[in-house]
Structures are given as structure tokens and as C-alpha cells.
Amino acid sequence: MTVRTHFLKLNTNKNFEIIDITSKINELIDIETGLISIFSKHSTSAIVVNENEAGLLGDLEFTLDNLIPNKFSYNHDRIDNNAHSHLKSFLLSSSECLPIKNNKLDLGTWQSVFFIELDGPRSNRTITLTIIGE
């Protein structure tokens, strides 16, 4: 059994941005069969699995903005004015644990892995990939 750790670094360009990281992850997978934990080390971002269809990704932004509008006075805004970004991150997830088969992510036909920037633009966003398998 092998355990390996890789770090994926990303720079983001917009306040809200959805970045498909599936191929970047596949390039770093160096075992045939196992599991990979994909973990974002930031509290205003998310890691999710879903379909890479432009209309749907726009719908996600629309839905999050309607659930958590940036027009209220949230408590955390007294500290650094990004409560809405944290709250969206609470509703999503900071990590995914996914199967590896034949040296790549074993995703369904319509699935991709996304990093979601919720408080950009930022430089040096770090995603930790922990791979366990053989």
C-alpha cells in the first residue's frame, strides 16, 4: 500500500469562479487503484463533483446568490467583510473522497471535479491531494 500527497496550487480571477480541476488531478494520480482525498485548505472555497455544463454552472452561482445574498449585515462582516463567502462554503464542502481506477478518477460520464472560488480573486489557493492505494 502506498500513501502519497500532492499539492495543487491555483490562482483565481473572479470573486465567484468555478474551475474544473479533473484533468489536473488525473495528471497527478500515480497509483492504479485506490482512493483520493481532494481537500481545499480555505474557508471561502469548496470542492464539489457535478456536471460541467455552462448553463448549470451559472445556475449554481444564481442559486447561491439567492440563498445567501450579499445585502445583509452578517456578524462576520465586522471582521473581514466576507461572511457571504464563508456561508456559501458552509453549504458546499471543503473536500471530496473519490475512487481511483486504471490510474485516474473513476467518475461517472457526466461528472467533473470542481474547485469553487467564493471570495476571489486570490493567488495561491492550495488543494491537498492525499492518495491511498496500490
Interface residues with Zn ion (CB under 5 A) are 80, 82
Instruction: Answer positive or negative: Cα dihedral of 75, 76, 82, 83.
Output: negative
Q: Which is nearer to Zn ion, 40 or 82 (CB)?
A: 82
CB of 83 to Zn ion, least distance (A): 7
HEC per residue, 5-65? EEEEEECCCCCCEEEECHHHHHHHCCCCCEEEEEEECCCCEEEEEECCCHHHHHHHHHHHH
Cell of 99: 475512487
Nearer to Zn ion, 17 or 119 (CB): 119
**Chain residue at closest Cβ approach to Zn ion:** 80
Residues 35, 64, 83, CA angle at the centre, nearest 5°? 95
Smaller CB separation from Zn ion, 12 or 82? 82
| Shortest reach from residue 21's CB to Zn ion, in Å | 23
Residue 25 or residue 42: which is nearer to Zn ion going by CB? Answer: 42
Which strands make up the sheet holding 34-40, listed edge to edge?
Answer: 2-10, 125-133, 34-40, 95-101, 104-105
Least CB distance from residue 106 to Zn ion, whole Å?
35
**Shortest distance, position 71 Cβ to Zn ion, whole Å:** 17
